[in-house]
Structure 1
Amino acid sequence: MKNNYIFPAIFNKEEDGYNVSFPDLSGAFTCGEDFEEALYMAKECLEIYLEDMKDIPKVGDLENIKLGKNDTIVMVEADLIAFRKKYNNQSVKKTLTIPKWLNDLGIEKHVNFSALLKSALLKELEVNS
């Protein structure tokens, strides 16, 4: 499963700031008082939007995007791993089964089973902690 995406956003400059929309993502809108805030909000909007999707659409052709007088295309990146780390970092309890002899040996060697499982999952899923 892919975790990084880049989508074009249309930044529309108004008197009071920027409105931001994503042509490939119906209903994904945000805004900011200045360009920097609008860019930050666009990244967050994109990550929230993509996190809730089961099937993420492909990026359309940039040439097909119709721009108005005060519009600019800005490519916005979403890092869903970083997003999940920031907003879904609570611990969850997992029940698992291992052979008794392995459990006994782990206890004897003072193994932190939770830390070991977390470390193994990060390695297996190729995620940096």
Structure 2
Amino acid sequence: MRKLTYFAVFEPTETGYSVYFPDLPGCVSFGEDFEDAQKQASEALGLHIYGMEKDGDEIPAPSKTPQVDPETASGYIISPVTVFPNLVRNELDNRAVKTNLTIPAWLKEMAEAQGVNYSKIFQAALMDYLGVNQKNN
């Protein structure tokens, strides 16, 4: 399973820890304490990598020595953060999303009278229409 580890800079603030990844500009996070900051950093890293891959951006190789911004507050901590991009992608691509559809009132009334699960029927019909048995990755 593919695993990526990047160094994060945990910068103390009055209300917790601000987090940034020197190798991934724009990948930032925050936590109310160090433990929360680590959890949030992992989530931010996973989402950032997912977004880059979705956009077709090149994922930079993790550096061995992170470049700490000179304006970083004193007392900062550098710590590795690891994610498994395939697990993140699988979770995000298979999450349930809401969509609207329009059907005639009489059809809705009949379906509700029989306790139809719209989501299940729509998903099965759409997969049949597209000729897929499961989500293609």
TM range (shorter): 0.5 to 0.7
Q: Report the residue type matching 1:11 in the other structure.
A: F
Compared CA separation, residues 79 and 40, structure 1 to 2 (3 A):
same
Pairing of 1:17-32 with structure 2 (within 5 A): 17-32=16-31
1:79 is matched with which residue? 84
Task: Provide structure 2 residue ranges, at least 5 long, that are not aligned to the other structure.
Answer: 96-122
1:95 is matched with which residue? 131
* Number of corresponding residues: 100
Residues 57-108 of structure 1 show CA distances to partners (whole Å, capped at 9, x for unaligned) of: 0112316446642111010011112212322215773527xxxxxxxxxxxx
Task: Provide structure 1 residue ranges, at least 5 long, that are not aligned to the other structure.
Answer: 97-113
CA distance in 2, matches of 1:31, 1:11: 9
CA distance in 2, matches of 1:51, 1:86: 11
Aligned residue for 1:10, secondary structure, equals: strand
Task: Give the TM-score normalised by the residue count of structure 2.
Answer: 0.61
CA distance in 2, matches of 1:64, 1:41: 21
Percent of counterpart pairs with the same letter? 28
Aligned residue for 1:52, secondary structure, equals: helix
* Root mean square deviation, CA, Å: 2.7
Task: Give the TM-score normalised by the residue count of structure 1.
Answer: 0.64
1:36 is matched with which residue? 35
1:45 is matched with which residue? 44
